[in-house]
Amino acid sequence: MKDLHATWESSRAWRDMALIISKVAPLLGEGGAPAAPRALASLDFGSLDRLRGHRLQPLIFREVARRGLEKELPPAVFAEIRKAYLLAFQKAAGQEAEIPPVLKALGRAGIEAIILKGADVRRRLYSDPAVRPMADLDLLIPRARLREAGEILVQMGYLPLPEPRPGFVERFENEITFRPMPGKCLRVDLHFGELRALGPVYRLPHSRLAAWAQTLDLAGLEAKVLAPEHVLIHLSLHTFQDFTIFGPFAIPLIDLSLALARLPVDWDFFLAESARFRCQGPVYLMLRALTSLPGVAVPAEVLDCLGQYRPSWPERLVLQRLAYLSIHLSVLYRHRRFSDWAFFFWSKLFPQQSYTREHCGSFKARLRTFLKKLSSLKFVSPGKEIGSS
């Protein structure tokens, strides 16, 4: 099978992404000070537009100020990224204040939530919440505590987003989103039972993740976060999913790059857990693609081990351009009763009005989106094992 990383590297979107990250990478490496001025020398207003689109201005400012490189930038460019940082700092301060009350409310009910993605990595990897944007507080809880956790959030003023049909999310998905309470800005995403990528194709069960979870100090509050190896697996899967469906974005790539550089990863445990979760394919492709970006290194023996994995024919399709369809097909594969299929398609094609209003799309618009995704699929004949070029 033709490696997906080769497809990404040959695409214009990936080349543009590599160019953007080449301007950021020299600033992030602890030993990259000599290269930093050269990277900043090419930072003009054209580059700033691309950085703005990926919400990287606060990160650039923090690193420029930390290294004392203000004079390497045109004054107008420096003033703009400074303004962006101050706005991000103000927003992040408000977001950080919203997190402890949610964790405390769940904790009082005996629900131990594991913090995921932005709320975790902005502290462990960036050490400054202002430079890592986020819009959601992602939490993983046991499936059995979902309804109780939802009731607690509603009592606090959060409101669940409408489902296609009542009961759809709990039946077919693993995540419920709650709209922020009045005066707040963070949505809360409750992941229950497991973490998923590409629908239920790749699944990381809560029981396993909770058994290895670690404690993080969150403004004096002890919070649970994923083990470094599970962070790397989860970020790889999540980034792979976003790339194959939406295209490349800078922030997930930088998250992964910093996780590789700054987390104490036990590579033997990482390989064992990747095999346990049967996600060697997307993890390999994501890490292999990442090594083409400046300043990113993955141990060669790790890539060699992951590259020996041979996916089945259906998974080969998932790892290529059938990611969008796989989300729906894999759900139907797991729920094979006719009643499940009927409820699934009825909910997708004719959702309740509150769901339609929330997502601002008519039936025709949803059909156009589906057909557009369908037309973008690229069928690839099977080839050698995943690690072959």
Query: Residue 119: pLDDT band by 50, 70, 90 thresholds?
Result: very high
The neighbouring-strand residues paired with 137 are: 188
Q: Quick check: 47 and 23 in contact, CB under 8 A?
A: yes
- Using CA of residue 92, residue 94, residue 99, residue 102, what is the dihedral sign? negative
Q: Which of 387, 192, 366, 180 is nearest to 283 (CA)?
A: 387
Query: Residue 372: pLDDT band by 50, 70, 90 thresholds?
Result: low
Q: Which fold has domain 4-375?
A: Beta Polymerase; domain 2 (3.30.460)
Average pLDDT, integer, range 354-377:
65
pTM recorded for the entire structure: 0.85
Q: Which residues contact 115 (CB under 8 A, 6 or more apart)?
A: 99, 103, 137, 138, 139, 216, 218, 223, 224, 225
189-209 tens-digit pLDDT: 999 999 988 877 899 999 999
Which is more confident, 335 or 338? 338
Q: CA dist 320 to 168, 241, 285, Å?
A: 28, 11, 10
* CA-based max dimension of the chain: 67
Instruction: Delimit the domains of the chain by residue range.
Output: 4-375
Q: Which of 111, 306, 278 is nearest to 196 (CA)?
A: 278
42-65 tens-digit pLDDT: 555 566 667 777 888 898 888 888
Q: How many CB atoms lie within 10 A of CB 183?
A: 8
Residue ranges in 29-74 assigned as alpha helix (H)? 36-41, 45-53, 57-67
